[in-house]
């Protein structure tokens, strides 16, 4: 019974993580300008990595592999937001403003 619960929880979180990862990729392609693309990649990335690592750790049981998985997760949680921030900050300071055409489009739509 307990095994079954573990299996289903792990599967659900893996599927959710994969779905987030997929929507991240979609957002990266489909969003109109640089910053909203960054937002799609940066925001979904942390949760997606967390869900996938959580799902994998439920499958591996409680051992050294789990510890390593969570260390990887910690590393990702530190570096991924920082790199997104660095990218966005650098682009902002380099004067890469929001694209004019997309601004007009969004204002005309709303």
Partner 1 sequence: MMMRDLFAIVMLFGIYSLLSAAIFVTLDAVDVAFTEAAVGAGISTILVLSTLALTSSEEKPPQHKFFLPLLVVLITGTALVFGTLDMPDFADPNAPVHQHVAPRYIHDSFQETGLPNIVTSVLASYRGYDTMGEVVVIFTAGIAVSLLLTSVRHKRNEPGNLKDLGHHPIILYVSQLMIPLILLFALYVQFHGDFGPGGGFQAGVIFAAGFILYAMIIGIDKIRETFSSACLRWLAVTGVVLYISVGIVTLLLGGEFLNYNVIAEDPVEGQHWGIFLVELGVGITVTATMLGLFLTFSEVKRSQ
The footprint of partner 1 (CB under 8 A) covers: 78-79, 82, 85-86, 89-90, 93
**Which CB, 9 or 50, lies closer to partner 1?**
50
Q: How far is the CB of 78 from partner 1 (least distance, A)?
A: 6
3-state secondary structure of 44: helix
User: CA–CA separation, 26 vs 101, rounded Å?
Assistant: 21
Q: Report the residue number, 16 or 76, with the smaller CB distance to partner 1.
A: 76
Of residues 27 and 81, the one with the C-beta less far from partner 1:
81
Tell me the C-alpha distance between 86 and 83, whole Å. 5
Considering only CA atoms, which of 65, 53, 69, 49 is closest in space to residue 10? 53
Q: How far is the CB of 3 from partner 1 (least distance, A)?
A: 27
* Smallest distance from partner 1 to CB 4, Å: 28
Task: Please spell the DSSP secondary structure of 54-73, one letter per residue.
Answer: HHHHHHH-SSHHHHHHHHHH
Nearer to partner 1 among residue 11 and residue 79 (C-beta): 79
């Amino acid at each position: 019974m307990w095994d079954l619960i573990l299996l289903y929880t792990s599967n659900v979180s893996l599927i959710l993580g994969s779905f987030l990862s997929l929507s991240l990729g979609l957002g990266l392609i489909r969003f109109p300008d640089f910053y909203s693309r960054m937002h799609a990649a940066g925001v979904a990335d942390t949760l997606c990595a967390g869900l996938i690592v959580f799902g994998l750790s439920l499958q591996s049981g409680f051992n050294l592999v789990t510890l390593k998985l969570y260390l990887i997760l910690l590393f990702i949680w530190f570096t991924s937001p920082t790199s997104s921030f660095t990218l966005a900050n650098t682009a902002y300071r380099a004067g890469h403003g929001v694209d004019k055409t997309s601004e007009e489009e969004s204002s005309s739509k709303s």
